[in-house]
């Protein structure tokens, strides 16, 4: 009976030791930082990755994610020309390790809802108000860049770094979409008209070049034809006798001249 009681005693001791041991260590994984809290008070020094020891039942270690995270936000704003703009945003950010303790002390772990999302809303409204609705579409990358700069300046003091800012979707009122469509149709018609005009201009230039070439050909043909007609008329009227002319009492035979022309 005594032996059984001693075994129970040792089992209880081992159990207590096990509980104390389990509550005296915390494992911090890669991409995390541990915030040490003692009696509800945040200890300024944070814990690193790996096994960390703490005072059992006195210390508590709160883990915070310091990897790159994504926040997706749906919001609406007004453009410079007072068009309502609905947007889907995707923001990549991370908590800096060296300021994680301060962030937890001031905000806690719900920093995305408390700090980041309101800052995103404020930043997008401030930037979109500087662009017309059409400029928001054509300059999307520039708008995203400006929004990222604006947002970074707002959350940097909390130890949050913005690594990327993307506007994944724009949508406007039906009236604006219709106006944009009509404008595109009109621009396409103007472009088509310009292309047709250019085509007609090229065709006209081709005709001028062709006419000039034909004119030159006809002039050359006319010259050749006149020489041929003169020779033909001469042959028609020739009686078969070679004419002779007198030059200083000398008779000059022009048959060589004629034969030379024929050659």
- pLDDT of 71 strictly over 90: yes
pLDDT of residue 197: 75
Pick from 12-21, 62-71, 142-151: least confident? 12-21
CA distance 21 to 53: 9
113: confidence class by pLDDT, cuts 50, 70, 90: very high
**pLDDT (tens digit, 9 = 90+) per residue, 158-167?**
999 999 999 9
φ and ψ of 71, to 5 deg: -120, 120
- Does the structure show a pLDDT above 50 at 137? yes
Q: Tell me what pLDDT residue 115 has.
A: 94
The strand pairing partners of 74, in sequence order, are: 88
Residues of the chain with CATH 3.30.479.30: 69-172
Confidence of residue 233 (pLDDT cuts 50, 70, 90): low
Q: Which two tokens stand for residue 240?
A: 């078969």
pLDDT tens profile 167-222: 988 887 777 666 665 666 666 667 676 777 777 788 777 778 777 777 776 666 66
Residue 262 has a pLDDT of 45
Tell me, what's the pLDDT at 45?
73
Q: Return the pLDDT at 95.
A: 95
Across 44-48, 61-65, 154-158, 202-206, which has the greatest mean pLDDT?
Answer: 154-158
Distance CA 99, CA 115 (A): 15
Amino acid 221: pLDDT? 61
The rounded distance, in Å, linking the Cα atoms of 209 and 213 is 6
Instruction: Output the pLDDT for position 82.
Output: 83
pLDDT single digits (tens) 75-103: 988 888 888 889 999 999 999 988 898 99
Mean pLDDT within 129-138: 88
Contact, 93 vs 71, CB < 8 A? yes
pLDDT at 187: 63
Q: What percentage of the chain exceeds 90 in pLDDT?
A: 26
3-class secondary structure per residue, the chain: CHHHHHHHHHHHHHHHHHHHHHCCEEEECCCEEEEEEECCEECCCCECCEEEECCCCCEEEEEEECCCEEEEEEEEEECCCCCEEEEEEEEEEEECHHHHHHHHHHCCCCHHHHHHHHHHHHHHHHHHCCCCHHHHHHCHHHHHHHHHHHHHHHHHHHCEEEEEEEEEEEECCHHHHHHHHHHHHHHHHHHHHHHHHHHHHHHHHHHHHHHHHHHHHHHHHHHHHHHHHHHHHHHHHCCCCCCEEEECCEEEECHHHHHHHHC
- The share of the chain scoring above pLDDT 70, in percent, equals 73
Average pLDDT value for residue range 248-253: 49
pLDDT number for residue 251: 47
What's the mean per-residue pLDDT of the chain?
78
Superfamily of domain covering 69-172: Band 7 domain (3.30.479.30)
């Amino acid at each position: 009976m005594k032996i059984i009681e001693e075994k129970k005693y040792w089992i209880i001791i081992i159990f207590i030791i096990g509980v104390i041991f389990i509550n005296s260590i915390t494992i911090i994984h890669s991409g995390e930082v541990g915030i040490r809290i003692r009696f509800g008070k945040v200890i300024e020094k944070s814990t690193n990755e790996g096994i960390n020891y703490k005072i059992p039942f006195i210390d508590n270690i709160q883990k915070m994610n310091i990897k790159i995270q994504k926040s997706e936000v749906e919001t609406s704003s007004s453009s410079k020309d007072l068009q309502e703009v609905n947007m889907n945003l995707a923001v990549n950010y991370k908590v800096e390790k060296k300021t994680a303790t301060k962030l937890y002390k001031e905000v806690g772990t719900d920093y995305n809802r408390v700090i980041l999302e309101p800052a995103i809303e404020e930043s997008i409204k401030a930037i979109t108000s500087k662009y017309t609705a059409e400029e928001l579409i054509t300059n999307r990358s520039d708008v995203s860049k400006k929004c990222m700069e604006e947002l970074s300046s707002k959350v940097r003091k909390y130890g949050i770094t913005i690594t990327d800012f993307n506007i994944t979707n724009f949508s406007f009122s039906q009236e604006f979409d219709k106006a944009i469509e009509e404008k595109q149709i009109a621009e396409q018609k103007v472009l088509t008209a310009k292309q047709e005009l250019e085509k007609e201009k090229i065709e006209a230039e081709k005709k001028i070049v062709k006419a000039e070439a034909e004119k030159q050909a006809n002039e050359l043909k006319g010259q050749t034809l006149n020489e041929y007609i003169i020779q033909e008329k001469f042959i028609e009227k020739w009686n078969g006798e070679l004419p002779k002319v007198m030059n200083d009492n000398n008779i000059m035979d022009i048959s060589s001249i004629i034969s030379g022309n024929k050659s």
